[in-house]
Structure 1
Amino acid sequence: MSSAVLISIAMTVVGAATPILLAALGELVVEKSGVLNLGLEGMMLIGAVTAFAVTYSTGSAPLGLIAAMAASAAASMIFGFLTLTLTANQVATGLALTIFGIGLSSLIGQGFVGRTVDALHRTFPAALAEHPVWRLIFGHSPLVYISLVMTALVAWFLTRSRAGLILRAIGESDEAAHSIGYSVIGVRYLAVAFGGAMAGLGGSYYSLVLTPMWADRLTAGRGWIALALVVFASWRPLRLLAGAYLFGAVMTFELHAKAAGVSFLAPEFLAMLPYLATIVVLTVISVAPAGGRLAAPACLGKPFRATG
C-alpha cells in the first residue's frame, strides 16, 4: 500500500472522528456535572441545519458556525429548564430533545435540500494543505484543530482549574456542594449550555465540511456514538480523543471496504459496523469487574432539589 493511500486513509479517519469528538467533549462536561443529556443527536442536527442555512444565506462559514453553536445551546436550554428547574426525568427529556431536533432540522432544511455551500476545508496555505505529505498535518479544516485544542482545554479545565473542580464536585455530591454555598443548578445550566454549543459545532462539521450540502438526518446517528464514546472513555478527555479516532477508523474501514468492492461482506453489514462496535464496547465495559462505570459521576442522571 502506497504512502499516498495511507495518508488518504488517515485524512478520512480524522474527518470521521472530529464531529463525534466535538460532540462527545461537550457531553463529557455535562455528565461530569451530574446531568445526563441524551439529546445529543437532536442538537447536532439543529447545529448542522443552522450552520448550513446561515452559511448559504450569508456566504460566511464562521457566522454559520457561531449560529450553529448558539442554536444548539438554545435547544439545550429547553432540556436544562425541564430537567434542572422542573426536575423532569433526564432520560425521557433527552430522548424528546432528540426527536424535537430531528423534526426541527427536517422542517428548516426543507428549502435547502440538494443545495450546496463552499466547503470549509483549509486552514493553512495551499502549499502546505495540498502537499502530498504535509497535508496530513496541515490539510484539515479549522474544526479539526479546534477539536484538538478543545480536548486539551477540557482536560485542563477539569483537572487544573478551580471552576472545573467545582463542577466535578457537584457531579460527585450535589448536596455537599450546595451545603458549602455552590450553585448546583447554575453550574449545571452552564455545563448544559456548553454541551449544546459543542454538539452544534460537531453537527456543523457534517454540513460545512464532510458533505457541504443539506440532506435530511445528515448526522446519521453519530450523536449516539458520541454518547457511547463518553462511557468508553471513562469520562476522561484524553481517552475520549483516542476513542474518537478509534471509532473514526472503524467508520473509515466501512467506506474503504465499500469503495474497494469487498464482496464477502454485505453492504448492510459494513454500514452497521460503527454501531456494532459501539455495542461491543459498551458490553465489554459493563461486564468488566472494574469497568468504566466506576468512573461515572455519582450524581449522574439524578435530579437535584435544594433543601435549604
Structure 2
Amino acid sequence: MSSTTRTTPGEEIVLPEVGPPADRKAPVLFALLTLGLALLVGLATREGDTTFRLARGTDFVELPDVTVPANLTAWLLVLVCAALTAVSVALTVRRRSTPLGLVVLFAVVWLLGFLTWAGAGATLPMVGLLAGSVALAVPLVFGALGGVLGERAGVVNIAIDGQLLAGAFAAALVASWLGSTWAGLGASMVAGLLVAAVLGLFAINYYVDQVIVGVVLNVLVVGLTGFMFTQVLAPNAASLNTPQHFSVVAIPLLGDIPLLGPILFRQTPIVYLLYVMVAVVTFALYRTRWGLRVRAVGEHPKAADTVGIKVNRTRWRTILIAGAIAGMGGAFYTLVSVPQFNREMTGGAGYIALAAVIFGRWDPIRATLAALLFGFASNLQGVLSVIGSPVPSQFMLMLPYLVTIFAVAGLVGRTRSPAASGEPYRTG
C-alpha cells in the first residue's frame, strides 16, 4: 500500500507504507513461548486454585471473583497458544504477515496461562494489576509518541530519556513555585521542547550524528538536573520541591463500567490527556496534509524538496512537537507518581520508550500497545512478589527488560525504519 500527496499541480509524492512482508519470526517466537509455558507448567506443577478478583469493594458494579483450577486451566491455555501458533505458521506458509490482532490475542492468552500457573493458591487483584500497568506505561507512551514523530520526520530521537527527566524536573519546580499542577504540566512541555531544540540544532542544522547527540543530551540532562537538585531543590524543598498532585477524576458512567471503568476511566487528568494525544497524533500523522509532509521528509526528503516542502523546517517543527509531548510524560513522575523530584528518577524509561517505537513499527497505536506491554511487565513483578509467586524476585525485576529484548529482537519481525531516519538533509 502507499500514500500519495499532491503539493503542486502535476507533482506528487508516493510514500510506501512502513511495514514488512510476511516473516517467520512471529510464529517462531510464538512456538518458543508456547514451549516455555508448557515446560513451566509441566515441570513445576502447582496444585490448588487461582482466583482472579475482577472488582474492588468500592466499584459501583462488582463482578464476582473467578476461581479456576490452576494446573488444568494452565494446560488448556497452553493448547490455545499452540492453536494460535499453528494459525501464525499457516499465515506464514501463505506468505502473509501475522496480524496485530493475532499477536495481541496470543499475548493475552499466554499471560493468562502464566498468571494462572503463578497464582495457584492465591488471589490475583486484576483491577490493581491492570490499572497499575496503565499508570506505569503513561511516561512510556508519551515518550514513544515523541519518538514516533521524530523518526517519521527523519530525526532519531534518542534524547527521549532526557526530555522525560527535564519534564519531571520542570514540573516539580514550577508546580511548587506557582502552586499549580497545570502550570507544572506546561513547564514540562517547555522543558522537553528545549531539549528537543538542542537536538534539532546539532542534528538538523550542523549535521551531527543524531545518535551521538541524543546520548550526550541524556547524560547532560542527568548531570544538569542532578546539580540543580543538589543546589536548588534540596535546600529549598518546602517551597520548590513539594508540587501539588493531580487527583483521580472518575468519568461519570464510563467509570462505572465493570472491570474496564476502574482501569481506564478512574485516572488522573494526565492519563485522559494521554488518550487524547494518542488519537490526535495518529489522526494528524495519517489523515492530514501536515502528517503526509512529515512522512515525506522522513522517507524521501529530496523528492519532498523538489515539490516545495521545506524539509529542515518540517523536521524542526516536528521534533519540537515531539519534545513537548515527551516532556509531558516526565510530568507524570512528579505530578502523579511521587511527591517530589529525585535525581535520575526516570530510570532509563526513555530507552524503553524508544524500544516501544521500534516494536510498534513507528506507528502511534502499535507503539502505545508496546508501551502498555512494558508497563504490564513492570507492574507484574510487584504483584507476583506480593502473592508469593515461586518465580524468583530477581527474574521478575529483569522481566521488563527481557520483554523489551524479545519484543525488539523477535516479535517485530522484518521491519524497516523510515528511509531517511537519522540522515541529515543538506539543501542545495
TM-score between both structures, scaled by the size of structure 1: 0.91
Instruction: In structure 1, give the amino acid aligned to 2:378.
Output: M
What do the CA deviations read for 1:64-112 (whole angstroms, capped 9, x no partner)? 0101100110111011011111111111101111111111121222243
Of 257, 271, 276, 2:397 maps to 271
Shift of 1:127: 10
1: distance between equivalents of 2:366 and 2:223?
33
Larger radius of gyration between Structure 1 and Structure 2: 2
1:29 aligns to what? 149
Distance 1:259 1:215, change over 3 A: farther
2:139 match: 19
User: What residue in structure 1 maps to residue 53 of structure 2?
Assistant: 2
SS in 2 for 1:272: helix
Which runs of 5 or more residues in structure 1 are unaligned? Answer: none
Q: Deviations over 1:266-290 (max 9, x none)?
A: 3x4322221221111111157x3xx
| Count of residues paired in the alignment | 301
With CA pairs under 8 Å and 6+ residues apart, which has the higher RCO, 1 or 2? 1
Q: Determine what percentage of the aligned residue pairs are the same residue.
A: 32
Q: Please name the residue that 1:184 is paired with.
A: 311
1:101 corresponds to 2:228: no
Instruction: Output one character per residue of 1:101-156: Cα deviation in whole Å (capped at 9) or x when no partner.
Output: 11112122224357543321323479987999643343101111111111111111
8 Å CA contact 2:180–2:244 kept in 1: the answer is no
Q: Residues of 1 paired with 2:136 and 2:256: CA distance? A: 19
Letter in 1 for 2:307: I
Separation in structure 2 between the aligned mates of residue 130 and residue 52 of structure 1, nearest angstrom: 32
The CA distance in 1 between the partners of 2:134 and 2:339, in whole Å, is 17
RMSD of aligned alpha carbons:
2.2
Q: Give the Cα–Cα distance (whole angstroms) in 1 for the partners of residues 215 and 344 of structure 2.
A: 16
SS in 2 for 1:14: helix
In the TM superposition, what is the alpha-carbon distance from 1:182 to its structure 2 partner? Answer: 0.9
Distance 1:79 1:125 in 2: 38
How do 1:1-308 and structure 2 match up within 5 A?
A: 1-3=52-54, 4=56, 5-110=125-230, 111-113=232-234, 115-124=241-250, 134-262=261-389, 264-266=391-393, 268-285=394-411, 288=413, 291=414, 293-294=415-416, 296-307=417-428
1:118 and 1:125 map into 2 onto residues whose CA distance is 21
- Per the TM alignment, residue 241 of structure 1 is displaced from its structure 2 partner at its CA by 2.1
CA contact (8 A) 2:250 2:265 kept: yes
Partner Cα separation in structure 2 for residue 107 and residue 121 of structure 1? 30
Is 1:49–1:108's contact at 8 Å kept on the other side of the alignment? no
| Equivalent residue number for residue 82 of structure 2 | none
Q: Contact 1:129–1:140 at 8 Å: present in 2 too?
A: no
Could you tell which deviates more after superposition, 225-234 or 135-144?
A: 135-144
CA offsets 1:17-59 (integer angstroms, 9 cap, x no match): 1110011111101100011021111111000011011111111
Note if contact 1:122-1:129 (Cα within 8 Å) is conserved in structure 2: no
2-structure distance, mates of 1:153, 1:27: 15
| Bigger shift: residues 196-205 or 277-286 | 277-286
Query: Equivalents in 1 of 2:197, 2:248: separation in Å?
Result: 33
> How far apart, CA to CA, are the structure 2 residues paired with 1:128 and 1:109?
40
CA distance in 2 between counterparts of 1:73 and 1:265 reads 41
Structure 2 contact 171–184 (Cα < 8 Å) conserved: yes
Per-residue CA distance 1:205-257 (angstroms, 9 max, x = gap): 11111112222111111110000101100111111222121111111112212
The aligned amino acid for 2:408 is L
Amino acid at match of 1:300: S
Structure 2 distance, partners of 1:208, 1:198, is 16
CA contact under 8 A between 2:356 and 2:368: conserved in structure 1?
A: no
Tell me: CA distance 1:164–1:126, structure 2 relative to 1, closer, same or farther (3 Å): closer
Report the AA paired with residue 146 of structure 1: L
Query: Structure 1 CA distance, aligned partners of 2:264 and 2:210?
Result: 40
* 257-266 or 127-136, which deviates more: 127-136
Q: Give the direction of change, closer, same or farther, for the CA distance of 1:226–1:137 in structure 2 (3 Å limit).
A: closer
The aligned amino acid for 2:270 is: L
Instruction: Provide TM-score, normalisation by structure 2.
Output: 0.66
CA pair 131-218 structure 1, distance change in 2 beyond 3 A: farther
Deviation at 1:300, TM superposition (A): 0.5
Residues 167 and 187 in structure 1, CA contact (< 8 A), matched pair in contact too: yes
Say if 1:207 and 1:218, in contact at 8 Å, map to a contact too: no
Mapped partners of 1:26, 1:32: distance in 2: 10
Q: Please give the alpha-carbon distance, in whole angstroms, between the structure 1 residues aligned to 2:159 and 2:368.
A: 21
Q: Is the 1:79–1:93 contact (alpha carbons within 8 Å) kept by the matching residues of 2? A: yes
- Report the 3-state secondary structure (helix = DSSP H, G, I; strand = E; otherwise coil) of the residue aligned with 2:346: coil
